[in-house]
Amino acid sequence: MTEAQRVAVVTGANRGLGRAIAQGIAKTGTHVVVTARTEEAAVRAAGELAAEGLPASGHQLDISDPASVARTMADVGHQYGRLDILVNNAGIAIDRGQAAASADFEKVRATLDTNILGTWRCCTAAIPEMRKNRYGRIVNVTSHMGTFGEMGIGSVSYRVSKVGVNALTCILAVELKDDDILVNAASPGKVDTRLAYGKATLTPEQAADTFVWLATLPSDGPTGGIFFQRKRLDW
Ligand SMILES: NC(=O)c1ccc[n+]([C@@H]2O[C@H](COP(=O)([O-])OP(=O)(O)OC[C@H]3O[C@@H](n4cnc5c(N)ncnc54)[C@H](OP(=O)(O)O)[C@@H]3O)[C@@H](O)[C@H]2O)c1
């Protein structure tokens, strides 16, 4: 890796949307740390990108495990001397059809712990590394299901978790704007992955475009926005 090369961490990058985002960012010349719940999955996914000639390495990261999160961001800072981009992609959807009035609180707890607290943990661990270079791009993966305009019923903890991701995005954007750390979120739309709800209309590669754009914004780019296909969502 060259001294000036930027370094990105993408969570849940072993498959689905995360893998496509990692690939898209690596294609811009940024070194991507491909993370996955197991070391084996991370190394395998990074190896696939490296086989395409893309700059990538693998690292274990379980975003529901505070020690794993702290270790990952510290290792990246130590190994590469910088952490420029964080894409919080990892997420779970385990309560389809679940009504708020009769919620299974084990599923609620697990969903919030991964989707909102996991995203939050990764941000707080990455921000000190970004502040060292007064540069950062944080991109959070949200969902239309977390917008008030599309607040239907079912999947209650998933919806609530993504509302939390949107709020966290707006708050961090204000806190960090003087450090040239831009924080945005985007919904990918209906993407053909294991997690997809209903009929998917986009491939992971098509959906990744907005996330790569947000990960590589210039300093005068937007912050605190919730996007879909590069357009702001009124959430
Ligand atoms: N697909 C859609 O239509 C759609 C729509 C709106 C939003 N999204 C959002 O897009 C993001 C990616 O989802 P996807 O569609 O690509 O689904 P996916 O194929 O199920 O991928 C989810 C990824 O997250 C990882 N993950 C889950 N829990 C984790 C944890 N605790 N620590 C680290 N990684 C973890 C999974 O790892 P394992 O392989 O180990 O399970 C997997 O790599 C999610 O935030 C999701 O909410 C997707």
Q: Is the pLDDT of residue 129 over 90?
A: yes
How do residues 44-63 score in pLDDT, each as one tens digit? 999 999 999 999 999 999 99
Instruction: Please name each of the domains of the chain with its CATH number.
Output: 7-232 (3.40.50.720)
Rounded CA separation 92/64 (Å): 11
Threshold 0.85, pTM exceeds? yes
The ligand 1 atom at the shortest distance from the C-alpha of residue 63 is: 32
With a CB cutoff of 8 Å and minimum separation 6, the contacts of 6 are 29, 30, 31, 82, 84, 85
Pocket test for ligand 1, best of 15, 40, 109, 227 (most atoms within 8 A of CB): 15
| Protein residue closest via CA to atom 43 of ligand 1 | 12
- What is the model's pLDDT at position 1? 61
- What is the model's pLDDT at position 199? 85
Buried b (16+ CB within 10 A) or exposed e, 37-63: beeebbbebbebbbeeebbbbbbbbbb
Alpha helices for 81-155 (secondary structure H): 105-111, 119-132
| Cα 64 to ligand 1 centroid, rounded to whole Å | 13
| Cα 93 to ligand 1 centroid, rounded to whole Å | 8
Comparing C-alpha atoms, which of 3, 8, 4, 5 is closest to residue 122? Answer: 8
Average pLDDT over residues 2-11: 88
Rg (CA), the chain: 16
| Protein residue closest via CA to atom 34 of ligand 1 | 12
Average pLDDT over residues 111-119: 98
| Cα 12 to ligand 1 centroid, rounded to whole Å | 6
Pocket test for ligand 1, best of 14, 17, 168 (most atoms within 8 A of CB): 17
Q: Is the pLDDT of residue 3 over 80?
A: no
Q: Is 97 left (phi over 0), alpha (psi -120 to 50) or beta?
A: left
| Cα 172 to ligand 1 centroid, rounded to whole Å | 22
How do residues 134-186 score in pLDDT, each as one tens digit? 999 999 999 999 999 889 999 999 999 999 999 999 999 999 999 999 999 99
How do residues 47-106 score in pLDDT, each as one tens digit? 999 999 999 999 999 999 999 999 999 999 999 999 999 999 999 999 999 999 999 999
For residue 41, report the phi and psi dihedrals to the nearest 5 degrees: -65, -35
